[in-house]
Structures are given as structure tokens and as C-alpha cells.
Amino acid sequence: MKNKIRQELESLADEKYRIFTSKLIPNVDNVLGIRLPMLRKMARNMDRTDCVDFLLNNNTVYFEEVMLQGMLIGSLESTWKEREKYIVYFVPKINNWSVCDSFCSGLKFKADEKSDVWAFLSPYLKSNKAYDIRFAVVMLLSYFAEERYAKLALSAFDQIKNDYYYVRMAVAWAGVTAAQPTKTPAITTRPPCRPSRSSSWRISSRGRGGRPRKAMSRPRSSIWVSTVAASDVVGQASASMAGANA
């Protein structure tokens, strides 16, 4: 079954799109070049019995095989608890922001499962593995924006010690969304290498002419983000959108 899926993926490869995608995903050299709508169509059309066998396949060769596995987990018509075993098996395969964010975007669940999902994600925030952390951060960003969870999430983000670029970027992205969900706020320049609360940088939608500005003192009401600059966040979001809509 896995060889049949691999052959189908190879038949959909687009060299120009491979080159484009490879530029967006550093340190990944196994891209075929398949547009995400095609992968989603494969996921929708796959036989459910074959799907389970494929999900447990750890012998992947291509970036798109891993991406497809993530999409299949999201498409399973099952409870969150039933999907957890597949998620636990899948998360260690995540080695780039594209697979991580695409997986999270498709990992929907019912409203009454939210507390279960929160409990499941919490240990990943404390992991020493960068993409475990990013997975949890992006999930919280995507599905836990309401006030009941947002304060808990921001507090958890503040405890993250991992300085890996794509972890820091995800936390900054979450901070931007929390501070200004409908506008692109101005963020100041890049903070020191290991930011702390005392060296945090303010997100502000004000700033003369829309220019970024440095927070000289802690304002009475603002979200504080201890990570990368706005240009990084916007660049990441643009890359995500480019990949998702291509």
C-alpha cells in the first residue's frame, strides 16, 4: 500500500513547484513538489483501512508523505481520544514548520473535547524538542484564543526556554495574534539573544507612520512578546499562506 501511495505522489510531482517550496523550507531536501490541494484530495479519497496502515508507516522517503500522514490524521472521523495514538506517533516526524503548521490547521476537534486537548498539549510545551514545542504553540494559537485559555497560554509561552528560531517565531506569532487579532501591529527590532521579561519588546499598533518603535517602558496595557522581530513573523505567515494557497 505504501508503495502505491508513493508512486501516486511521484506522479504528481512538479519540478517548478519543488524549487519554490524548497526555498521556503530550510534544511529539507526531500521535496517532490506537490501542491497542498492535491495532497488534501488524496487524503479525502483514501480508503480508511488503507489510511490506518499508512499512518503507522515510519519508512517515509518524501516530505509529502509526512504531510499526507498529517492530513489523514486530521481527516479521521473519530474522537480526539481515538486520534491521540496517531498524533503521538506522528509528532516526532515533524522536522519543519510547514508540516507542523499544516498538521495543526487540520487537527480539528469538538468543543466539548477542548479540555482533553489542552491536557494533551501541555507536556509538549515542556519538551526539549523544538518541534514538539512548536506543535503545541501553534495548536494553542489556532484553537485556544478565547480568554479562558489565552492567559494560561501566554503564561506557558513565557516559560519556554528553547531558543530555536522556529520556536521563538511561533511564540511571537501567537503574541501578535493575541495583541491585535485584526490588524498587523508594529513590533520593535530584534531583542537580545536570550530575551527575558525584563528585556521584552512591546507590540503596538500605534507608531508614527506605521513604523515600528521600541518600548522604552512597560505600558499599563499591552501584550509582551520575548522573541523575534515583526518582519520574521510576517515572513513566516506569508510563507505559510503561500504554501497553503498554492
As a three-state string, the secondary structure of 151-176 is HHHHHHHHCCCCCCHHHHHHHHHHHH
Q: How far is CA 86 from CA 40, 69, 93, 144, 242, in A?
A: 18, 9, 11, 22, 27
pLDDT band at 246 (very low <50, low <70, confident <90, very high): low
Task: Please compute the mean of the pLDDT values over residues 17-45 and round it to a whole number.
Answer: 94
Has residue 12 got a pLDDT over 70?
yes
What average pLDDT does the segment 122-131 reach?
A: 95
Length of the chain: 246
> Could you tell me what percent of the chain has a pLDDT over 70?
71
Contact 45, 118 (CB under 8 A): no
Mind listing the pLDDT tens digit for each residue in 75-111?
A: 998 999 999 999 999 999 999 999 999 999 999 999 9
Buried b or exposed e, range 44-82, using 16+ CB within 10 angstroms? eebeeeebeebbeeeebebbbbbbbbbbbbbbbeeebee
Rounded to two decimals, the pTM is 0.73
Instruction: Give the residues across from 204 on adjacent strands.
Output: 186
